[in-house]
Amino acid sequence: MNGFGTTFLFKQKNGEWSTQPLAWHNRGFLFGDGLFETMVFQSNKIRFSDDHQLRVLDGIANLSLDREELSSIQQIEKTVNHFFPNSKALRIRWNIFRAGYGRYSPPENSTHETLQIESFIKSDGLKINAFVSDKIRIPELPWSNCKTLNSLTYVLANQERIDKKMDEVILLNSKGLVSEAGSSNIFWIKNGVYYTPSLTCSCISGIGRKQIIRKLETEGKEIVEGEFYPIELVKADKIFTSNAIGVSYIQFLNNWEFDIEPDPIIDEIFQMN
């Protein structure tokens, strides 16, 4: 790993992975033309691997990319095990971008890939102060549910969070409906019922979100996916955010305080071996 504790691997034309890039200037770099997955690697496997693979394939279809040369999750696991045998838990960012250069009009739709690999750091389980952004909105686009390389919306939202000296930012969509947090999906609990914005609210189709909904349904808990205005958040008993890395509980939203006792059903999903 480099001085920042991160290793970058680049998929070559022969399908092998190397620390040497094919090219620094590419359509991912120039246009944000691509997708990425953030994944946890432990015990020689990628956690929630099937769902990561499905989301990648959905994104590939949405962006009209070819999938013939795309790596499988199993190939990614094999590569990571080769470069990091007997490693502790790792955080992997799998970047997939359209090959070729061109301008806005892509000359081809084949894919290039990179892996960004670093030590896994558990998600901060508590976000003390949160606010609803009145500056940044999540646009309604055909690819809003995908994790694209064009993440300027989230960069600026988190810059606003830093400027305000807050721990979490909650984002609304263009209709003023609750969409998601700065780098995660959002849930809340009221009178034992779990709520989360529907994918129609332009939020990312999160891997953690999917695991939580599946777990709640298995446990017989009521989960409501819908369209909600931010007033519903202040009525909640508990608010938490989730991504593939884990869960964080919000203590204060503006002047409202919420229960931050960890939910054992939710936390069980993200326990590390």
pLDDT, position 102: 87
Mean pLDDT of 125-129: 97
Nearest-5° angle of CA 149, CA 155, CA 156?
135
Residue 240 has pLDDT above 50, yes or no: yes
Residue 193's pLDDT band (cuts 50, 70, 90):
very high
pLDDT, position 90: 96
Specify the residue for token string 């991912």. Answer: 28
Report the Cα 147 to chain-centroid distance in Å.
7
Length of the chain, in residues: 273
Question: What b-and-e string marks burial along 147-186, b requiring 16 or more CB atoms within 10 Å of the CB?
Answer: bbbbeebbeebbebbeeeebbbbbbbbeeebbbbbbbbbb
Tens of pLDDT, residues 13-63 = 899 999 998 877 899 999 999 999 999 999 999 999 999 999 999 999 999
Per-state percent for the chain, helix, strand, coil, to nearest 5:
25, 35, 40
Tens of pLDDT, residues 88-117 = 999 999 999 999 988 999 999 999 999 999
Residue 122's pLDDT band (cuts 50, 70, 90):
confident
Of 105, 98, 106, residue with least CA distance to 35: 98
Contact 161, 153 (CB under 8 A): no
Q: CA 216 to CA 223: how far, in whole Å?
A: 7
Q: CA 77 to CA 46: how far, in whole Å?
A: 7
Question: What's phi and psi for 162, nearest 5 deg?
Answer: -65, -45
Residue 201 has pLDDT above 50, yes or no: yes
Written as six digits, the tokens of 104 are 């806005």
Tens of pLDDT, residues 50-65 = 999 999 999 999 999 9
Q: Which domains does the chain have, with CATH numbers?
A: 6-119 (3.30.470.10), 126-269 (3.20.10.10)
